[in-house]
Structure 1
């Protein structure tokens, strides 16, 4: 079925300059304190970069803690795993910002690949395997998934798909990146310390919105100032005994004092990776969900920074570099992959700091402190209520940025409203269903009892169960809201008839970078030129 009617055969009138400026994001340029190409003073950049990394501390600490707990890792090994995440994040961020898409995006562990990792751990645990076996199997699966992502990126697959993705697809994907995280335990825990969480949110709002014009520090460092202030309050209450051990908000200083000064982190530190077909396929599904999330992040950060939408070449190089980051993460032994951090995008929205240089300085700092045991344990003392406050302030910002893409779409057309509505609802409802199922194995058991999947029960091809592949892939993608919403919106927007103008594709193409606005690193090295400012840039 065609997705366009006959009106597309008529040449469309040029877009007025005022509409072109609005589409390019002139209002975002006014908001941005430091643009992508700006280089603040070094000391200021160190603090700004550190702030960027603090916004994603929840994921950076949560993912290794979840993995270590599921695998039964000893405490000293867990500390080393956390340090490994920091080191991988630093290296992957430097690679992405220097050789990849060159957007100010922090790279790090991904929740999309956490689901298949936990499924793999469960299978190995049921057969009596220990954490040593688990981490080696995870390494092998992540390495292969990373290599596959390299091909997806550098073969131009995502760039080709981009031609069929307009605002109607991108808006739900970005919005769901923020909305899908509303239920994280750092916010919704039944034992939540709501006044500490509320204090964190209140301070972020106070510094970034009410006091931002009174002092430049409030405008540049609202997250850092809020986090430090809330942490000091929690530290005092913990030290004086008002907060008891085990309660939300309690800070255990002993973990820092007992930490190893230096951590030995190096490739293949756990041993040689192991490669199992079914595990690799599960991790591949998680990687696909991560790719969709990153695609949305690229458009989101461009919008935040007042830049035009990324062109196909920038998207391809970003995804390809994330594949290299995944492979590196597998070799280092995180047991998880590497992707663009949504929290980092939210930080840009709050602080107005979109400088690539700042993110690179922060990456260098994280790379070195990853080897310092004291630092990792100190960061791990940030209580969940404070992390939840950061999430509450930032994820809503991301959702709003996604919905702002709809300014390019004709919302008077029923087909557009229908697609956006069903994509958003499906992106929230289907992951909720998957969460109630109880895991990939439980989902597979349910499929086995339904026709036509009953025909595949007990069937194996080269030792691999086709039913297991279908179940694991469906479960992982179905558990990822932005993947579900993006797929639904993509299929409907490209099959339900509609003109390019009403779908927002005409304006979307106009604000997208020209082909030569992004140069691969080998071309930049060859002529010494940087990229030209993208349309709508500051």
Structure 2
């Protein structure tokens, strides 16, 4: 049972805190996603087989990722779902990148000068694949399909995503034992020290005196603290020469230091900076499958964010608009060379549950800070100096968080029904078994293109398990929508208009009403809903005037 204390929010979606609070909350949201933004640039820069240029490419990818994340976040919070949502590189695209890695493996004979052509191939294939997002949003299909996508579909997909990244985690952790230290630090911070409050000193200019405030820094900034401490330990190993020259945990590797000193202080990232995009049909198919998985994952995250923000279930028009904007963000990510599309970060949604702050403007502030760091390329070069061995621990902890969030989705599902348990279990098992079979034996239809396309799809755990779960959940009888977890959220009628984050501002509604034909678009609320919102606002203003008089 949810208590009033658990329902309490310090700041609702439309609330605007004090400027200092906006900056602090925005900084906190940025720091929460900080480590996750570094994983993809590290992985992708290694897949390009660029040799001595790997570190320099990594700097560009980090900067491009930060800029893209900031822009996508601002667009989503302003024009898309209009809740406090942060968009960043999606790990769901890693299976597609593994397909690319299988097509172009790094060997001793690999020509390291061809890395730009490989980047263009990834960018073009990803760009074509993510076009499905805005198309599904503009046509309104995603809003209709989302009504049938529930936790029973989402949970197996997220679990299979985590299972699919196990080889990557093992590869990175095996580089050096510092990865184990990183994981242990994160376990200590998140599990053992979660409720520990630390006194933080400060100074009040208005009162002209020092003060202390208590914060749960271990639970709010575990990744940042873990990276900093592990990085410091790597520095100690370097200055004491315990780590041999050229070792993966050294902080003074020649290529990293050279790139840091040669990188300009400010460098603007722009689309197609690696050249004009190229295309590969099998790679397009792989990225398309990942895009479908991301869309299903986002449907669940949008619902969770709305629930935490006390907004009720998102309207179909908001869902459609959110995917149009998410598609635009993913298209920008493709052209910028990020290597993956964007998705909603569950960690940032989780921190809102802890802080009780769901204000839209704080997330917009986080987006602006991310853009500034991306433009300040010296900061990106500094982050690229993080020893690669540390990233293994970060990736392991990040996937653990995603897996935990996945199971949290089941809280609205009736797990007493054998139907629900069977679908979840079967989809996870078959989602692992079928891809393993085709990885070992391959597909032989007699048509090479068909073999490549179907073989790519059947090797993707998220797609196989997700489709099995979705089909069984829709077709199998024996459970109501509530028992399937599709009606476990708040109703829209209980949200006051002044706190409704989904509705547009009055001037935007008045502009839309001047062109009634716009309201027929799936991404725009109906004319009836807009007029009802404006009537409620007018009524609220009249009530406030009467209260002031008496």
Instruction: Give the structure-1-normalised TM-score.
Output: 0.75
The residue number in structure 1 matching 2:439 is: 437
Q: Does 1:297 align with 2:337?
A: no
Superposed, 1:468-479 pairs within 5 Å as: 468-475=452-459, 478-479=460-461
Measure, in 2, the Cα distance between the counterparts of 1:426 and 1:474: 11
Aligned residue for 1:381?
385
Q: Distance in 2 between matches of 1:327 and 1:411?
A: 39
**Displacement after TM superposition at 1:232 (Å):** 3.2
My pick for the range that moved more, 118-127 or 379-388, is: 118-127
Q: Distance in 1 between matches of 2:245 and 2:507?
A: 54
Contact preservation (8 Å) 1:108, 1:338: yes
- Find out whether 1:95 has 2:69 as its counterpart: no
Pairwise mapping of residues 453-532 of structure 1 onto structure 2 (< 5 A)? Answer: 453-454=445-446, 457-458=447-448, 465-475=449-459, 478-480=460-462, 483-500=463-480, 503-504=483-484, 507-508=487-488, 511=491, 519=502, 525-527=508-510
Q: Secondary structure at the match of 1:108?
A: strand
**Change in 2 beyond 3 A, CA 1:349/1:206:** farther
Answer yes or no: is the 8 Å Cα contact 2:432–2:461 preserved in 1. Answer: no
Counterpart of 2:345?
Answer: 341
Aligned to 2:177: 192
Once the two structures are superposed, residues 415-436 of structure 1 have per-residue CA deviations (whole angstroms, 9 ceiling, x without a partner) of 12211222333445556x27x9
Match of 1:235 in 2: 235
CA distance in 2, matches of 1:484, 1:351: 37
Q: Deviations over 1:11-56 (max 9, x none)?
A: xxxxxxxx7xx4xx867535x7665445551441353133123141
Does 1:151 pair with 2:155? no
How far apart are the structure 1 equivalents of 2:357 and 2:51?
A: 38
Paired position in structure 2 for 1:116: 96
1:133 equivalenced with 2:123 (yes/no): no
**What does residue 215 of structure 1 align with?**
214
1:96 CA displacement: 1.4
Q: Which residues in structure 2 correspond to 1:46-125 (within 5 Å)?
A: 46-69=26-49, 75-117=55-97, 119-120=99-100, 123=103
How far the C-alpha of 1:497 sits from its partner, in A, is 1.4
Q: 1:447 aligns with which of 443, 449, 465?
A: 443
Look up the SS of the partner of 1:209 in the other structure: coil
Change in 2 beyond 3 A, CA 1:240/1:301: farther
**Structure 2 CA distance for partners of 1:514 and 1:275, relative to 1, 3 Å:** farther
Residues 424 and 115 (structure 1 numbering): CA distance in 2 closer, same or farther, change over 3 Å?
closer
RMSD: 4.0
Distance 1:124 1:37, change over 3 A: same
Rate the CA distance shift 1:179–1:514 in 2: closer, same or farther, 3 A: farther
Please tell me whether the aligned partners of residues 166 and 504 of structure 1 are also in contact (alpha carbons under 8 angstroms): yes
Query: Does 2:133 correspond to 1:163?
Result: no
**Secondary structure in 1 matching 2:270:** coil
2:523 — aligned with what?
A: none
What does residue 369 of structure 1 align with?
373
Structure 1 portions without partners, runs of 5+ = 1-18, 459-464, 533-538
The residue matched to 1:215 in structure 2 has which SS?
A: strand
* Length-normalised TM-score, structure 2: 0.74
SS at match of 1:336: coil
Q: What displacement does 1:370 show?
A: 1.3
Q: Deviations over 1:159-193 (max 9, x none)?
A: 21122223433444455556665664279723332
Q: How many angstroms apart in 2 are the aligned matches of 1:51 and 1:371?
A: 17
- Alpha-carbon spacing, 1:506–1:292, altered in 2? closer, same or farther (3 Å): closer
**1:130 partner SS:** helix
* Contact 1:220–1:353, Cα closer than 8 Å, also in 2: no
1:39/1:498 Cα in 2 relative to 1: closer, same or farther (>3 Å)? same
1:261–1:308 distance in 2 versus 1, CA, 3 Å = same
Relative to structure 1, is the Cα distance of residues 233 and 321 closer, same or farther in structure 2, using a 3 angstrom cutoff? same
> Please, which runs of 5 or more residues in structure 2 have no aligned partner?
200-212, 512-529, 537-550
Shift of 1:447: 0.4
CA contact (8 A) 1:192 1:248 kept: no
CA distance in 1, matches of 2:198, 2:427: 36
1:36, 1:356 within 8 Å by CA — same for their partners in 2?
yes
| CA distance in 2: counterparts of 1:91 and 1:175, whole angstroms | 29
Distance, in Å, in 1 between the alignment partners of 2:224 and 2:177 is: 22
Summarize the Cα distance change of 1:308–1:143 in structure 2 as closer, same or farther, 3 Å threshold. Answer: same
**CA–CA separation in structure 1 for the residues paired with 2:393 and 2:16:** 29
Rounded Cα–Cα distance in structure 1 between residues aligned with 2:297 and 2:6: 22
* Aligned length in residues: 485
In structure 2, the CA distance between the partners of 1:502 and 1:333, relative to structure 1 (3 Å rule), is: closer
The alignment status of 1:326 with 2:326, answered yes or no, reads no
Aligned equivalents of 2:508, 2:388: Cα separation in 1: 44
- Aligned to 2:119, the other structure's residue is in SS state helix
User: 2-side partners of 1:385 and 1:160: how far apart?
Assistant: 44
Return the alpha-carbon distance in structure 2 between the equivalents of residues 352 and 426 of structure 1: 39
Deviations 1:363-422 (A, max 9, x none): 212212212332112222334565455555554444344333433333322212211222
